[in-house]
Structure formats: structure tokens, C-alpha cells
Structure 1
Amino acid sequence: MARAMRERGFTLLELIITMIVLMIFTMVAIPVAKNTIKRQREIELRRALRELRTAIDRYRQIADAGLVNRLRINPSEECMGGTIGTGCYPPDLDVLVEGVELRGTTGRKIKLLREIPVDPMTGKAEWGLRSFQQDPEARSWDGLNVFDVYSLSDGVALDGTRYRDW
């Protein structure tokens, strides 16, 4: 009988040690999993920003080459002829999805984006916009053109920078 009591006590001790080890593993695994998820979302944000900025740059190249129908560019701004080139940027992000009508063609468009990507930090297809004329620190868009995009999230990245500053 005494032996049976010792065996039950030893089994209880094993159970307690096992539970403590599992709790330690859980306490380590949860932050690692959260960081992994956050890192993945940051990778998605970088990809979305790169996709948008590449489409804006491509629009600029097409406009610089004189291939864009001028109706979609602010006529008060000159895109060619050695000026600053502020008119060569798209008027909004929707133009990149709807397509840019080429000069000298009827109805022929070049679509630069399939869709406006979703900001993984906010879960919405909404982005902060900045025009060529705006100060880099400006947080409200003046509506002239789209020179740059940024996330509307106020979150902080794993490296300590703010997502809106990317």
C-alpha cells in the first residue's frame, strides 16, 4: 500500500513538471507567433507599397513619353518640355486601375493595376496620398496628383519605425 501511494505521488509530480514545461513553451511560443504574423503583414505592406509606387512610376514614364491622353492630366500643368513635371503623375489611384487612354488611339487603354491593393495594417484598400507639390511630412492630400502613397496605420513596425513613414 505504501508503494502505491509513492507511485501516485511520483505521477502527480511528473504531471506538475510537465504542466510547467508546457506553460513555459506556451509563454515563449505566443510572442514568437505574434511577431511572425506581424512580420508577414509587414512583408505584405512592403509589397503593396512597391506595387502602387511601381504603377505610379510607370504612369509617369508613359506620360513623360507623351503617350497619355491629356484629358486625365491637369491641363494647367506642363508634363513635357523641361518643366518640373508635376502634371505627369496620376490624378488619383483609380486611374491606374481604370486604365490610361493612349494618345492617338480610340478606346485603347493601358491598365497599370488590376486593383488597388489592401493595406494589410488597416484591412482596407485606402492609402494616404501625397502630391508632388506637397511637403513630405504632410498628412492630408491636396488633390493635385498622386506622387507617393503611404499606409494610414499609426502602428509601429518591428524595427521601431511607423508604418505611415514607409
Structure 2
Amino acid sequence: MSRLLNNNRGLTLIELIVTMVILGILGAMVLPSIQLANKRSKEIELKRDLREIRGALDDYKKTYDKAVQDGKLQVVVDESGYPATLQTLVDGFDFGGLYPTKKKFLRRIPMDPFHKVAGDEVRWKLRAYNDDIDSNSWGGKDVFDVSSLSEETAIDGTKYKDW
């Protein structure tokens, strides 16, 4: 009877070790899924940024073509109608007076989430209108397309630089 009344309220060392092992296993299972979710969110951000820049490039080209069609700009033989730099999309362009003020296409140049840079370094791989599709260097004449500078592999097995 005295044994029943003598109630030890504590955990043994073995119970603590088993609990810690179980928590460690659970933590080891959760960590990769958190890392995968983080990578997936960066991929979504990269796709959104590429879509935003490419849309702005297309809008610039359409506006340039409209300005040429309306006679506001003269056709230059070696000019593609794409902006000279990405910064032109932010600063704006007047298109020969087609609009009362400079037309801007981006508020800011988005950052590549997989290729962090400091200062004024190149944020994106640029391709000019006359560059080969597999070109590793930018012709510098205009900006026809952008892609990531990251060499990492995406969740689906493709390279970010090929998006």
C-alpha cells in the first residue's frame, strides 16, 4: 500500500532521451520541406520578375512602333526599337512627343532572387535583338530579353538561366 501512495512525479533519463530522439527525427523531417518551400517561393518570385521585365520590354517596343507609325520618331536603319538599357524602362522615354511626359514602364528594376548583387553590378543576363540565342555576352546595343545569371538548378531540373 505504501508503494501506491509513494508517487514519483518525474521523468526518467530514458524517457527524456526517447522524447529528444523523437523530436529530433520530426525536426529532421520538417527542415527539408521548409527549405523546399523557400526555394519554391523564390522560383515564383523569379518567374514574376522575368514576366514583369519582359512585359515592360514588349510594351516599350509597341510604344516605339506606334511612335514611328505616327511619325513622331524617324526610323533608324540599325535600331531595333527596344530600350538601350533596363534603366531606360525606369527613367522613361519621350518617344518624340507621343506623350506629354516621358513614358515609364517599370518603377524599379526587379532583383533576381537567385543571384544577389551589391551596388550597381549587373542583375540580369541581357540579350540584344541581334545576339544569338545561345550568346554568353550582351551585344550592348539594346535589351531584347533578360534571364537569370544563376547557375543553380530549379526544382523541376531546369537551370534558372534558361528560363
TM-score (norm 2): 0.82
Alpha-carbon distance change, 114 to 141 in structure 1, aligned in 2, over 3 angstroms:
same
Question: 1:35 & 1:106 partners in 2: Cα distance?
Answer: 46
Report deviation, 1:76: 3.2
Q: Residue 98 of structure 1 corresponds to which residue in structure 2?
A: 91
Pairs within 5 Å for 1:1-166 = 11-66=12-67, 70=73, 75-77=76-78, 87-104=80-97, 108-124=101-117, 126-166=123-163
Q: Deviations over 1:116-147 (max 9, x none)?
A: 11111112371110112111111210112111
Question: 2:26 & 2:138 partners in 1: Cα distance?
Answer: 47
Please list every run of 5 or more consecutive structure 1 residues that lacks an aligned counterpart in the other structure. 79-86
Alpha-carbon distance change, 69 to 154 in structure 1, aligned in 2, over 3 angstroms:
farther
TM-score (norm 1): 0.80
Question: 1:131 & 1:112 partners in 2: Cα distance?
Answer: 18
Identity %: 42
Give yes or no for contact 1:55–1:96 (8 Å, CA) kept in 2.
Answer: yes
The size of the alignment, in residue pairs, is: 152
Report deviation, 1:107: 6.3
Report deviation, 1:156: 0.9
RMSD: 2.6
